[in-house]
Structures are given as structure tokens and as C-alpha cells.
Structure 1
Amino acid sequence: MSSRDVPWSEGHWSHPPVQVVEDGTSLLVTAREGSDAWRHTSYGFVHDSEHALLAPLPNDAAVEVDVVLDYAEQFDQAGVFLHAAEDHWVKAGVEVSDGVAQLGAVVTRGRSDWSVAPVPDWRGRTVTVRLSRAGDAVTVRARAEGEAFRLVRVLPLDPEAAATAGPFCAAPTRAGLQVRFLAWRTGAPDASLH
């Protein structure tokens, strides 16, 4: 992928974190306790308090985020967030559930769904999450450093939808989560699904 680094200053926060510190080229983000993104399904609540650093993502473009997977508490999460509307968004990355790092995505179109797969060997490594927008679809891929991208999800998105995307984190159940983002890039979308 021919890509461009996105300066951290180019984004705007969906909800401001407790603290944001530029540490060299990294961005250290401290999440608020109770921050999350979810709508209705199974739990009945709406949480709209994630920390997403967003910039425009036009059709026929991709966004990638590198994050260090060094968090380990229940529901700690980080990755990429795509926002199309208050009730239409996607979060994808690694979330800790029942003590296990889980690669997954939440796709919300009025109501949220959630899909995960365990990736315990990704702990302590740099993880890259990639959302590729082309035509009427968004393709979500992810990898740990040194590995090939794996497909996480393919989902529909109106080609005309105005969307923003960028790094995100949330800490639904605790205070003190600090996430280190290493890079944020944009570029051309993936040429094919496979």
C-alpha cells in the first residue's frame, strides 16, 4: 500500500480522553473509566463515549493504525474506529474478554453486533488494524508484527456516506488504561478481497 502518515494533530476526538501525550512519534492515550461504544443489542444500553481520533475517510481509501497490545484488563480495547453517523459506525481491533486478547469488530447500524477470535499470542506485540473502503464495502484486516494480514470482516457502507476514521480506545470497566499508538496511515484501498 502506498501510504501517508497522518499527523496526530490532523484528527479530532469523538470524546476527549483523560490524557493525550505525544511521546516521540507515538501517541499515549489514557482512557476514561466507563468509555465504550455500543448500541442496544443483548445489553440494552447505549454507550457513546469511546475515544476516537477521527479524520475524513473518503471512498476508495484505507486507514491503518499500529497499536501496542500491552493492555490486559476486562474489555480494554484499541484499534480503528469508522464513524458514518451517530448510530452507524464500526470499531475493529483487539479487546480483552475473559482474560484473552480477542481480535474482532463491532458493526453498528442502529444496533450493534460483535464478532471475535482469540489471539493470545499477540499480547506484547505491535498490532496493525486496517479498514479498506472501496465501492459499497469496508474490509477489515489485522495482523501482529511479522505476520500476514488476516481477514476480520467485510461490511456494507453506502459509497456516498461521509465517513471519518482513525485510532480509538476505550476502557468500559476500569480507570488507568493507557494505550500506545505507534502510527496512523491512509492510502489506497486493497485491490481485492482475497
Structure 2
Amino acid sequence: ISDDKLIMHVTPKSDYWRISHYGFTVDDAPFYYSEYGGEFEAKVKISGDYKVRFDQAGMMIRIDHENYIKTGIEFVDGKYNLSTVVTHHTSDWSVIALDKPVNVIWIKAVRRLDAVEIFYSFDDNTYYMMRNAWLEANRPVRIGMFAACPDGDGFDVTFSDFKVTHLPDKVRTEWLRNNAE
């Protein structure tokens, strides 16, 4: 960690995945996190030296080994994809194929009640929604940066500008507004 950046050499043969499609479970890739409760917005900038199939880097929101969301960029069959895996006992995988390689990507997640909205941006100004996923409400989560290299010998990734901002409590805000003198 230096100058607001986390530079990570990703552990070879590592990933997060549970059961579905491939029939195996792995839960061993690097994950640098803090724990948060309530509603929040989290954002991170990612750039990596992706080399082989399934090299990936992004943000993870995790309750435990059976309940998590990992989202970011993933290198699959020579192409870059925006990728989200949602796991509730078993994993699913959604992708948005990119037309060309990108040097950096910003990922933003907004947790409200039992939903997490996931967005991406190429410039940190215009964000596009890529997924809305269920995650149990009123449970603290570990949120942070992860990377995985299921098939390769590792690669380097840089995370920067990671920030988590708690969202105001809507009920409390409304009460204060209605009771202000």
C-alpha cells in the first residue's frame, strides 16, 4: 500500500466460486477488506496486467463463504468482460463483453436494504448499472478489493481511490426534516 494505492500480486490458482456449473468450490483468493454495516456506497478504481483466462480483479461484498457478491473486470478468452458473481450457497455469473481492452475501470456498489446495485464507469463521471443483486439486509458485510487467478501463475493489479461512504438513514432524515424548528 502506497500513495492511496493497493498493488497486489495475485495468488496463482486462486478464486471464489461455489458449486454451480463447474462442480467445485474454491474460496482462497486475496481479499483486502473492512467491515461495514447499514447502507453505503463503495467505489474503487482498478487496473491490471491480465494475462490468462479468468484473471479478474474488483470489489467484493461478503457476508460469509456462502453469501457474497464479487464484481469487476475479468479476462476471458482474450476479451475483457465486466463480470459479477452472486453467491447464495451456489454461484451465478453474469458478464458484459467489452468491445476493446480498457486500461482502467471504476466499480461502484450501492447497498440499500436487501439490494446491491452495481455500476461501472470508464471515467469516474458517467456510471452504468450492470446488476442489481439481493443481499441479506441488516447484516454487516466485509467490503473491499479482491483479485483471482484461477488458471494462471498470477498477475499484478492496482487498486486506487477505494472509498466507502455511509448513506443517510432515510427514516431519521425524514424525522429530522419534519421536526426541525
- The Cα offsets for residues 60-118 of structure 1, whole Å up to 9 and x where unpaired, read as 11111111144242111001011112100110000011111000200000000000011
State whether residues 16 and 25 of structure 2, in contact with CA within 8 Å, keep that contact through their aligned partners in structure 1. Answer: yes
Alignment correspondent of 1:51 = 30
Are 1:78 and 2:57 an aligned pair? yes
Q: CA RMSD in A?
A: 1.7
Change (3 A) 1:148 1:121: farther
**Residue from 173, 182, 187 that aligns with 2:160:** 182
Give the TM-score normalised by the residue count of structure 2.
0.86
Give the TM-score normalised by the residue count of structure 1.
0.81
Alignment of 1:3-152 (within 5 A): 22-124=1-103, 126-145=104-123, 148-152=126-130
Alignment correspondent of 1:171 = 149
- Deviation above 4 Å: which 4+ runs of structure 1? none
Unmatched segments (≥5 aa) in structure 1: 1-21
Unmatched segments (≥5 aa) in structure 2: 169-181
Provide the identity percentage.
26
Distance of 2:49 and 2:12 partners within structure 1: 17
